[in-house]
Amino acid sequence: MIEQILSYDLSLFSLILLIILFVITKIKKDVISFSSTLFHWIIIVNIIGLTAEVASWIFDNKPGYFNYLMSYTSNVLVFLMAPIIIGLWASYLDYKLFSNKKRIYNRYFYMFPAFITLIILLFNLRYPLYFSIDQQTNVYTSGGLLPLQYIFVYSLYLYIIILVVQNRKHKDSTIITGIMLFLMFPLIGSTIQMFFNTLLFTWSSLSISLMVVYIFMETTSGSLDYLTKLYTRKILETYMKSLIEDKKEFYVVMIDLDRFKEVNDLFGHSIGDRVLIDFAKIIKDVKQNYQMFASRLGGDEFLLVLQHDSDDIPKKLLDEMNQRVNSHPYISKFKFLSFSAGYVKYDHKMNMDDLLLSVDQKMYEKKVIRKFNQKHIYDSDY
């Protein structure tokens, strides 16, 4: 019996991994969100499917009514869990793309394969549509409708891939990478098992997939600002603390959008959100030319950390940002909107609070001067 259990070591390892992952997500989640609820259910269904798959092989080809009952039940669960988990995947990934709970409820067709499979399995009790098991020998035989299961799974796979490709420009690259890796592992595993059915790769590959999605789409979410996808203040402070401890040379740049409140008051907060998102994209585009860490402090304030030792670098960066803001197809429509910025070079005598206070004062001085002069264009005199 022990030798037989050890022959399924990959499945057992995957099962342990899933249980640990489920416990971790339960412990670490302070707020139960819709996506985390879906993620928990995906883990649960994966555990059931993985356990059922192993059981279907353990009790296969062993005479006796108990073995027959366990074999039939486990095969039913394997067939049923497959469309359920692909439907949950589709719902989870759709929500990650659009963050719209109502949209998921309207796409109940994600669960159509599961409902159809359940009906077929009920008929399977009398007619061997998906599979049959001989009650005397307990030998498993595939049914004529077995290819239907693969059609269900791969059709939803294809739908989600198309959905991701069509909307890839509207989401953060980390989420897109997580989604594609999430789809890749079970796709490879199920394809291998389709041609070599004695290799139990499908449900084990799902476990790897869930670890990938947890790393890319669950753990990183707390590091990034929900709106702009820049780093949060908490991560910023951790990063700066590391630089200070290592006695690195760096500049801190604080940026504040001038008259941003007027955008919200005149056009609404949805328009204001789009301005913040597009401004953050400008920061990300400029970031490619510099060794820079970008974060959103809150509201319309941003803080950049530049690992450079030249005094010209912060000014060059701000000039480049100004050019991009003025030529931006959306932000440039708001003629009154501009930004003020101040920067400070880190002095090794400073602690983090001193540094943030100093750069905040520099930025505020610029803002006061711009307001006094009634300037609504960026002043490059730094």
Query: To the nearest 10°, the Cα dihedral for 146, 151, 153, 158?
Result: 160
Alpha-carbon gap, residue 265 to 271, rounded angstroms = 10
CATH of the domain at 131: 1.20.1070.10
80 shares its domain with 203: yes
Q: Within its chain, how far is the Cα of 187 from the centroid?
A: 18
Alpha-carbon gap, residue 140 to 101, rounded angstroms = 41
Question: Domain span at residue 26?
Answer: 2-223
185 shares its domain with 254: no
182 shares its domain with 143: yes
382 occurs within a structural domain: no
165 shares its domain with 282: no
- 90-114 pLDDT, tens digit per residue, is 898 888 778 788 888 888 889 999 9
Could you count the other beta carbons within 10 Å of the beta carbon of residue 77?
A: 20
Higher-pLDDT residue of 338 and 29 is 338
Q: Please, which pLDDT band fits residue 296 given cuts at 50, 70 and 90?
A: very high
Nearest to 216 by CA among 259, 275, 172, 246: 172
Report the domain count for the chain: 2
The continuous run of DSSP H or E covering 340 comes out as strand 338-345
Residues with Cβ within 8 Å of 284's Cβ and at least 6 positions away in sequence, in order, are 230, 294
Considering the chain, what is the average pLDDT of its residues? 83
Q: Is 311 helix (H, G, I), strand (E, B) or coil?
A: coil
Q: Is 291 helix (H, G, I), strand (E, B) or coil?
A: coil
* Residue 203 · residue 11 · CB < 8 Å: yes
Q: Please, which pLDDT band fits residue 247 given cuts at 50, 70 and 90?
A: confident
Nearest to 60 by CA among 133, 125, 130, 131: 133
Nearest to 82 by CA among 159, 213, 189, 177: 189
CA angle 222, 228, 233 (to 5 degrees): 50
Could you count the other beta carbons within 10 Å of the beta carbon of residue 264?
A: 15
* Amino acid at site 357: L
Alpha-carbon gap, residue 182 to 352, rounded angstroms = 39
Question: Of the residues 223, 242, 275, which one is the last residue of a structural domain?
Answer: 223
238 shares its domain with 212: no
39 shares its domain with 187: yes
Higher-pLDDT residue of 14 and 315 is 315
* Residue 157 · residue 87 · CB < 8 Å: no
70 occurs within a structural domain: yes
193 shares its domain with 165: yes
Alpha-carbon gap, residue 346 to 242, rounded angstroms = 13
Q: Within its chain, how far is the Cα of 211 from the centroid?
A: 11
Alpha-carbon gap, residue 223 to 229, rounded angstroms = 9
Residue range 210-220: mean pLDDT, rounded: 68
- 302-317 pLDDT, tens digit per residue, is 999 998 777 788 999 9
Q: Within its chain, how far is the Cα of 233 from the centroid?
A: 20
Q: Is the pLDDT of residue 238 over 90?
A: no
* Amino acid at site 179: I
Here the tokens at position 162 are 């198309």
90 occurs within a structural domain: yes
Burial class (CB in 10 A: 0-12, 13-18, 19+), 335: exposed
Runs of H (alpha helix) within 167-215 = 173-195, 202-213
Q: Please, which pLDDT band fits residue 31 given cuts at 50, 70 and 90?
A: very low
381 occurs within a structural domain: no
